[in-house]
Amino acid sequence: MPRFESADGLSLHFVDEGSGPAILCLAGLTRNAGDFRFVLPFLSGYRVIRMDYRGRGKSDYADDITTYSVMQEAADAIALLDHLGIERATILGTSRGGLIAMLLAATHPQRLAGAILNDIGPEIAPGGLDRIMEYVGKRPEFADYDAAADGLKAAQEARFPGVSRDRWRLHAEALWVEREDGLDLRYDPRLRDALIGQAGVGPAPDLWELWDAAAQLPLTVLHGENSDLLNADILARMQARAPDMRAVTVPNRGHVPFLDEAEALDAVLAHLKAYT
C-alpha cells in the first residue's frame, strides 16, 4: 500500500498508476481515491496519481482537526508530488479538489501544468453548503450497499435522472464501508467539527483572487446542469474573468458529474491532449 509522510508526521495513502504525463486527482470533501474509478479506464497513456486526504480513505486521521483544511491539503498534495519526484502535474479536482487546485495555482503555479475542475468554482451557490452539512460527519442510515443503492437512486433522481441503480451501488461502495451493524463512513467524522470551526473564524476568504490565479493556467471547468454548488450565473462570471477557459455543462447531472459522461470525458481528454 503506497504511502508517504506529511510534514506533521501523518501517513497518507495514495495510488500511482500508469505512465506518461502526470495527472494528480484530488477528490471531493468526504471522498477518497475511489472518487475517480469511473474515469480511470479512459486515462491510459497518463500517470494517474490519486490521493486520500488526511482523515479520509486509508490515510491517517489527524489529532488536530484544524488541519482538515484546504490549505493543509494543498500542502500535502505538494508533498506527494515531491515524494514522487514530479515537477509538474495536471490537477483533476472534484469539488474540494478543485478548491485545492485554485489555491495551488496561486501558491505553486510552477507545479501545475493546468487544471480540470469538476463542478466547483470560487463561489458556492446558495443552499449547496447547507445540503452538504446535512450529511457531513453523520453515519448513513443504510443497512448495506443494496439499501444504499435504492436510497441514493431515490434521493438523487431529480438531479441525476436516469442513473442506474447499479451505478449508485458502485458509488455507495466508494463512499462508505459495510460493517455488521450497517454502513459507516470512510472518513473521520470530526471533519464536520473542523468545517464548523473554520466557518466560525472570521470572514470567508475571497476565493475569486484564487480564481484569477487559476485563470493564468490552462483551465477546463465541468458544470453539472443540475448542480446546487456551481450554477450558470457563477459559471458565467468565472468565464468573464478567465476568457480562455473551456466550460462544459454536463446534462442531467447535479453535484458532481461522475466524469465518464460523454460530455465530461470529451472535455477531460481534450484538455489533456492539448496541454500535456
Residue range 161-171: mean pLDDT, rounded: 98
Q: 43-55: per-residue pLDDT in tens? A: 999 999 999 999 9
For the residues of 37-52, what is the DSSP string, one character each? Answer: TTTGGG-TTSEEEEEP
Asked if 52 contacts 58 with a C-beta cutoff of 8 angstroms, the reply is yes
Domains of the chain: 3-136+190-275 (3.40.50.1820), 138-186 (no CATH)
> pLDDT band at residue 127, thresholds of 50, 70 and 90?
confident
Helix (H, G, I), strand (E, B) or coil at 195: helix
What integer pLDDT is reported at residue 201 of this predicted model?
A: 63
Compute the distance between CA of residue 204 and CA of residue 74 in angstroms, rounded to an integer.
Answer: 18
pLDDT tens digits, residue range 185-207?
999 999 999 999 987 666 667 89
